[in-house]
Chain A
Amino acid sequence: MLYREVGEFKPSYKKDQQTFPIRLDRYGFYTVLAFAFFVVPFLINDYWANAILLPFLIFGIAAIGLNILTGYCGQVSLGSGGFMAVGAYACYKLMTGFPDLNIIFCIMLSGGVTALVGVMFGLPSLRIKGFYLAVATLAAQFFLIWVFNKVAWFYNYSASGQITAPERTLFGMTVSGASATPEVAYLVCLSFLVVMALIARNLTRGSVGRKWMAIRDMDIAAEIIGVNPLMAKLTAFGVSSFYVGIAGALLFSVYLGAVEVGEVFGIQKSFLILFMIIIGGLGSIFGSLAGAAFLVLMPVVLKNVMVGQLGWAVDIAAHFEFLVVGALIIFFLIVEPHGFAMLWRIIKEKLRLWPFPH
């Protein structure tokens, strides 16, 4: 079974337009999904879930969100950390305000709230472009964090200023709170990621996505051929913030359980997510996930090697991590500015001709 389009006949338009047109790709995708849903939950333990899998799934969602805005619509945002905080706090207020509401709805509604906030901060993008917009989104980042620190209503007047997720169940299993098991948390995050990645993939292929890309490639030209920049940019901000907000809500309710806003959603997180999509590949769903996996795994690996194997102090390992991340980003930008996604694409192109390239 070779990796070929040849010999695959598409008798209907629907078949021709499917997400994975090559059979091997499609089967590979189903295998990965089946493995993730039916095998991993039996192998998972606390360490794997908390150190690698949950952060990967959650930041994967956030990276897809930012990629929609930056990679597909060309609007650079440094406010993802702030928007994640909106998602987390909206989720907290919904969970405590409506104890009977199912947690899945809480998370989705907090995505909606974040989308509204995102659209509000996206309004200036109609006049501001490029770096200027990046700085404008910094305003969102710092302002939102400040609001969540100062306005006691958001953290229900708790003395510590922290928010703590109450216990909620789904089909009789604990999802959030102290007694949640890693399997359930993993499955919830995975389901969210899979559904949202598929939605994102199809959004970006449809007319909305093509409008975003037209704006990205050249906004004035796009306007001339009839793309409404107001709608295109605001929908990009809205959808992107929806994703980022859901990631924030999951991070708070399912993964961390308790959050201090300045620490968890600081400017460093915004940069982290931005790096994920740069290293992974701008304008690619697969790239967002690859970048998220890479940046979640790399510190764990570095730490294991340096602290575990070589016996170095933790702070030296942390400095080394900075150095390696920085060097890798520069390296990737020089060698392959389009990230892992491009490498993957090149590999697939080569595979099609293998073993007899021209």
Chain B
Amino acid sequence: MESAAFFYGMEVFLNGLMTGVMYSLVALGFVLIFKASGIFNYAQGVMALFAALTLVGFQNGQIPFSHLINAIFGTDIHHFGWHMPTFLAILFALLVMIIFAILVEKLVLQHLVNQEPIILFMATIGLAYFMEGFGDLMWGSNVKKLDIGIPQGGNLWIEESTAFLGGEDFYGFYLDTLDIYATVIAIILVAGLVMFSQYTKTGRALRAVADDHQAALSVGISLRKIWVIVWCIAGFVALVAGIMWGSKSGVQFSLSLIALKALPVLILGGFTSIPGAIIGGLIIGVGEKMFEFLIGAPLLGGATENWFAYMLALVFLVFRPQGLFGEKIIERV
């Protein structure tokens, strides 16, 4: 009995790790943009939602703005009547995100150069609202099922092969196959990003901009081009996050709230560190699941996951304001 409880704890721990990976995926997009442009992009969560909506829309051959067109012209159109192959739909969704990145740079960021960070932050909140309304108008607000062929449900192989560990009361670790895929994809994504920023010319330019805007400008790096590239990459990361979250819990409004969960992740990891985002995500994921399992559900009445991450971040900040891996904050008059 003792050991079974222990192994259930282990299971919660592992599931926490998996959730953490999902948080990290969103947090990654934040870090990329923050490093390159000093903008704290609140819209990252909505970008993931928008990317997932677009993907589903293309897959099902939905006509964009069909609700609006129907409302204005009194028509009754909904679908083109074809289904796009997943791969093609992903490519198209990526294209939309790239167009979006260019538009954001042209219409918003370009006009807000040299503003205070807080103004830029507010602008991205505005952007988040805009995209939310825009995405819903474009594709409709009903909950959509996203299926790109990743298997879902408990992984039987892991369950059976670990069942012997805990004796009679233990039936093996229950892990969602989708989460395992997400972990693998996240690892590939991070490895890819690291390779990109270390070994390509554009990547080096990105790191230069992240280090020092002025110095980067003076050696001939175009800031505006870099910003477009960074927002494109963030759009790509948002698409990946949107796919994973969308397959897990359906494409719906609550996806955009994950952006809020990514905030404590960033605080733990530090705003400027990619490994920090990953480790922060894991700590938050494991922390909130374990807290709910050990203290929240038995003693406090459950649903502690809603606030645990923020409280952890709050307590953590008091002792280490710059996060685990952030650069030390030095203030001068």
Instruction: List chain A positions with a Cβ less than 8 A from chain B.
Output: 76, 124, 127-132, 135-136, 138-139, 141-143, 145-146, 149-150, 218, 220-221, 224, 267, 271, 274-275, 278, 310-313, 315-316, 319-330, 333-334, 337
- Which of B108-116, B144-152, B229-237 lines the interface with chain A? B108-116
Instruction: List chain B positions with a Cβ less than 8 A from chain A.
Output: 40, 67-68, 71-72, 108, 111-112, 115, 117-119, 121-123, 125-134, 136-137, 141, 257, 260, 263-264, 266-267, 271, 300-304, 306-307, 310-311, 313-314, 317-318, 321, 331-333
Q: Is the CB of A326 within 8 A of B300?
A: no
Other than the given A146-B306, A321-B133, 4 more pairs (CB < 8 A) read A220-B332, A315-B141, A326-B129, A328-B126
List of A residues within 8 angstroms of B267 by Cβ: 132, 135
Q: Is the CB of A124 within 8 A of B318?
A: yes
Interface-central residue, B118, B125, B141, B314, by most chain A CB under 10 Å? B314
- Chain B's nearest CB lies how many Å from the CB of A179? 36
How far, in angstroms, from A334 to B332 measured CA to CA in the complex?
A: 29
Q: Is the CB of B136 within 8 A of A146?
A: no
Interface-central residue, A124, A142, A145, A218, by most chain B CB under 10 Å? A142
Ranked nearest first, the 10 interchain pairs of A and B with the lowest CB-CB distance are A326-B130, A322-B133, A323-B133, A329-B126, A326-B129, A139-B310, A142-B307, A319-B136, A330-B126, A143-B307
Interface-central residue, B40, B112, B123, by most chain A CB under 10 Å? B123
Q: Is the CB of A150 within 8 A of B122?
A: no
List of A residues within 8 angstroms of B71 by Cβ: 310-313, 316
How far, in angstroms, from A337 to B120 measured CA to CA in the complex?
A: 10
- Chain A's nearest CB lies how many Å from the CB of B278? 18
Q: Is the CB of A327 within 8 A of B126?
A: yes
- Chain A's nearest CB lies how many Å from the CB of B267? 5
Considering the complex, give the chain B residue whose CB is closest to the CB of A222.
Answer: B333
Secondary structure at chain A's binding surface: helix, strand, loop or mixed?
Answer: helix
Interface-central residue, B117, B125, B302, by most chain A CB under 10 Å? B125
- Chain A's nearest CB lies how many Å from the CB of B255? 15
Q: Is the CB of A319 within 8 A of B317?
A: no
Considering the complex, give the chain A residue whose CB is closest to the CB of B116.
Answer: A337
Considering the complex, give the chain B residue whose CB is closest to the CB of A311.
Answer: B71
List of A residues within 8 angstroms of B331 by Cβ: 220
List of A residues within 8 angstroms of B108 by Cβ: 330, 334
Considering the complex, give the chain B residue whose CB is closest to the CB of A76.
Answer: B118
List of B residues within 8 angstroms of A334 by Cβ: 108, 111-112, 123
Q: Is the CB of B313 within 8 A of A221?
A: no
Q: Is the CB of A330 within 8 A of B127?
A: yes
Q: Is the CB of A329 within 8 A of B123?
A: yes
> With A329-B122, A333-B123, A337-B115 in contact, do A132 and B301 touch (Cβ < 8 Å)?
no
- Chain A's nearest CB lies how many Å from the CB of B139? 10
Q: Is the CB of A330 within 8 A of B317?
A: no
List of B residues within 8 angstroms of A278 by Cβ: 122
Query: What would be 14 A-B contacts, judged by CB atoms less than 8 Å apart?
Result: A124-B317, A135-B264, A136-B314, A220-B331, A267-B257, A274-B125, A310-B71, A319-B133, A326-B126, A326-B129, A326-B133, A333-B112, A333-B115, A334-B111
Q: Is the CB of B318 within 8 A of A128?
A: yes
Q: Is the CB of A135 within 8 A of B313?
A: yes
Q: Is the CB of B333 within 8 A of A220?
A: yes
Q: Is the CB of A138 within 8 A of B310?
A: yes
List of B residues within 8 angstroms of A127 by Cβ: 317-318, 321
Interface-central residue, B40, B129, B318, by most chain A CB under 10 Å? B129
- Chain A's nearest CB lies how many Å from the CB of B69? 11
Considering the complex, give the chain B residue whose CB is closest to the CB of A79.
Answer: B310
- Chain B's nearest CB lies how many Å from the CB of A254? 29
Q: Is the CB of A131 within 8 A of B40?
A: yes
Q: Is the CB of A139 within 8 A of B129?
A: no
Interface-central residue, B130, B137, B302, by most chain A CB under 10 Å? B130
Interface-central residue, A127, A131, A321, by most chain B CB under 10 Å? A131
Considering the complex, give the chain A residue whose CB is closest to the CB of B68.
Answer: A316
List of A residues within 8 angstroms of B257 by Cβ: 267
Interface-central residue, A128, A218, A319, by most chain B CB under 10 Å? A319
How far, in angstroms, from A322 to B68 measured CA to CA in the complex?
A: 15
How far, in angstroms, from A142 to B264 measured CA to CA in the complex?
A: 13
Considering the complex, give the chain B residue whose CB is closest to the CB of A150.
Answer: B301
Instruction: Pick from A143, A316, A323: contact of B130, CB below 8 A.
Output: A323
Instruction: Pick from A124, A316, A337: contact of B314, CB below 8 A.
Output: A124
List of B residues within 8 angstroms of A141 by Cβ: 310
> With A326-B133, A327-B126 in contact, do A224 and B333 touch (Cβ < 8 Å)?
yes
Q: Is the CB of A319 within 8 A of B137?
A: yes
How far, in angstroms, from A169 to B56 measured CA to CA in the complex?
A: 56
- Chain A's nearest CB lies how many Å from the CB of B108? 6
Q: Is the CB of B303 within 8 A of A128?
A: no
Interface-central residue, A221, A320, A322, by most chain B CB under 10 Å? A322
How far, in angstroms, from A136 to B111 measured CA to CA in the complex?
A: 30
List of B residues within 8 angstroms of A124 by Cβ: 314, 317-318
Q: Is the CB of A333 within 8 A of B119?
A: yes
Interface-central residue, B68, B119, B121, B133, by most chain A CB under 10 Å? B133
- Chain A's nearest CB lies how many Å from the CB of B98? 20
Instruction: Pick from A138, A224, A326, A328: contact of B260, CB below 8 A.
Output: A138
> With A139-B307, A322-B136 in contact, do A221 and B317 touch (Cβ < 8 Å)?
no
Considering the complex, give the chain B residue whose CB is closest to the CB of A315.
Answer: B141
Considering the complex, give the chain A residue whose CB is closest to the CB of B107.
Answer: A330
- Chain B's nearest CB lies how many Å from the CB of A340? 15
List of B residues within 8 angstroms of A311 by Cβ: 71
Considering the complex, give the chain A residue whose CB is closest to the CB of B137.
Answer: A319
Q: Is the CB of B132 within 8 A of A322?
A: yes
- Chain A's nearest CB lies how many Å from the CB of B38? 11
- Chain B's nearest CB lies how many Å from the CB of A124? 5
Q: Is the CB of B131 within 8 A of A326?
A: yes
Q: Is the CB of A139 within 8 A of B313?
A: yes
How far, in angstroms, from A324 to B126 measured CA to CA in the complex?
A: 10
> With A150-B303, A329-B123 in contact, do A128 and B321 touch (Cβ < 8 Å)?
yes
How far, in angstroms, from A138 to B306 measured CA to CA in the complex?
A: 11
- Chain A's nearest CB lies how many Å from the CB of B297? 12
List of A residues within 8 angstroms of B131 by Cβ: 326
Q: Is the CB of B137 within 8 A of A267?
A: no
